[in-house]
Amino acid sequence: MRMKEKMKQIGSFVIAVAVLMSLSSCLQALNRSSAGDIEKLLQEKYGTEFQVISIGNRLASSGMDTVTAYCRPVDDTRVVFEAKMNTHHQLVSDSFVERVVEVQAEKALEESFSNEGIQASVYAHIFPVPEDTDYRNADYLEIIKSTPDSSFTFKTVVSERTKDDKVYNAITSVLMSHYQLNDSLKCGTSAYNIIAECGIG
């Protein structure tokens, strides 16, 4: 009797494992299919090659009518953005152009900090970015100046060995240069100091 119960338990376990493996295989196939479709749609829209690096909610999930993917252009891995595709295999939305413009700002700001002798990593957010912006000819400074109610914020992580006014003065200098672009420009920032000797400070 005990042997029969053990056999049933083993059989149930084997079936459960088989079901899980089957579901995992189906999800992987769905991910590959969705990723391929999104990459193709983005390439058709922008004329450059893209790579899906992560899949979020899936079309097969209950109540979901879109699949969300995080993507990047093959020629610039820093431009990571979100794209959504619906059940009709149509691109619903993507933030590619917005991220291209923001990465322009990030690189320019990092260069400004470098000119001040400071190693920094910047994450910028610019909103709104006009829908008709051509990413190949986009100029983040021009967009900030010419877009009504433009909002420009950035977060900065800096690495400094000593706690002095160097970081404050550099951030103030960078902020002032952007405030002068447009009197109505809403601009803000926050900074995080990483102390080289002890990791995070």
Pick the CATH number of 97-195 from 3.30.300.20, 3.40.50.300, 3.40.1280.10, 3.10.300.10: 3.30.300.20
pTM for this entry: 0.73
Domain 18-94 has CATH 3.40.50.300: no
Domain with CATH 3.10.450.570 in the chain: 18-94
Domain with CATH 3.30.300.20 in the chain: 97-195
Q: How far apart are CA 54 and CA 39, in angstroms?
A: 12
Helix/strand/coil percentages in the chain, nearest 5: 45, 25, 30
What is the DSSP code (8-state) at residue 34? Answer: H
3-state per-residue secondary structure call for 163-194: CCCHHHHHHHHHHHHHHCCCCCCEEEEEEEEE
Q: How far apart are CA 195 and CA 49, in angstroms?
A: 39
Q: Give the pLDDT of the chain (201 residues) as one tens digit per residue.
A: 555 554 444 444 334 433 334 434 434 444 677 889 999 999 999 999 999 998 876 554 555 688 889 999 999 999 999 999 988 889 999 999 999 999 999 998 888 888 877 788 889 899 899 989 999 999 998 888 888 887 888 888 877 654 557 777 777 777 776 656 555 555 566 666 655 443 333
